[in-house]
Amino acid sequence: MIAVHACIAALSLAWFAGDAILGLIVAPRLFVLAGEQGVGSAFAGLVFGDVLARWVVMAGLLCVIPTAVLLSVIAGRRLKQIGAKAAALPLIAIVLVLAAHSMTATTVEMGRQTAQELRENPDPARMERFRGEFHARSRLVMGFEMLTAIALAIGAVMAAHRTAGFSPRRDLNAG
């Protein structure tokens, strides 16, 4: 079971790292470069939107789905061995992980569709409103996704630690 918890922690950290790198490093740098090159923030937004859409698919396939499967293994084992109450936490984690990623995927897809519509039918007022609203919404959704990923990683590490039989009190008293 320790290996399952370690895998969940690793997958959650990879998911978190990908989101963090895109949101905290790639996006700001892309917008700075677009300004320096004179192509404008609209172009940078389109490029970042495409990158983000690809990441959402990759994160779902490589991190989110495997994490949900591993959590279901834990839930199933707990249900069989201990009972329904013991399976509740991993089941809640599955719902949270899938909900967080679904919200992100939906937000990114809606943004991609709106950007495509604005490319085909430019409307400066709608474009400006879209930029502000979409940026605020996507930051909120990605923040929730990152919080979910890091909380899951911390929970998995704590569960692995507990499964291994370590107790903070016992370990302190042993020395």
Closest to 71 in 3D by CA, of 144, 145, 11, 142: 11
Percent of the chain with pLDDT strictly greater than 90 = 55
Instruction: Report pLDDT digits (tens) over 53-89.
Output: 999 999 999 999 999 999 999 999 888 888 888 889 9
DSSP label of 165 = T
Tell me which amino acid residue 69 is: V
Q: Quick check: 153 and 20 in contact, CB under 8 A? A: no
Name residues whose C-beta falls within 8 Å of residue 117's C-beta, 6 or more positions apart in sequence: none
Q: Quick check: 69 and 11 in contact, CB under 8 A? A: no
Give the residue ranges of DSSP H helices in 38-64: 41-59
Is residue 40 predicted with pLDDT exceeding 70?
yes
Count of CB atoms situated within 10 Å of the CB of 38: 7
| pLDDT range class, residue 166, cuts 50, 70, 90 | low
Cα 150–chain centre separation: 9
CA distance 43 to 26: 14
Is residue 141 predicted with pLDDT exceeding 70?
yes
Average pLDDT over all residues of the chain: 89
| pLDDT range class, residue 173, cuts 50, 70, 90 | low
The radius of gyration computed from the CA coordinates of the chain, to the nearest angstrom, equals 20
Give the 3-state secondary structure percentages of the chain, helix then strand then coil, rounded to 5.
90, 0, 10
Instruction: Report pLDDT digits (tens) over 105-129.
Output: 999 999 888 888 888 888 888 888 8
Is residue 174 predicted with pLDDT exceeding 80?
no
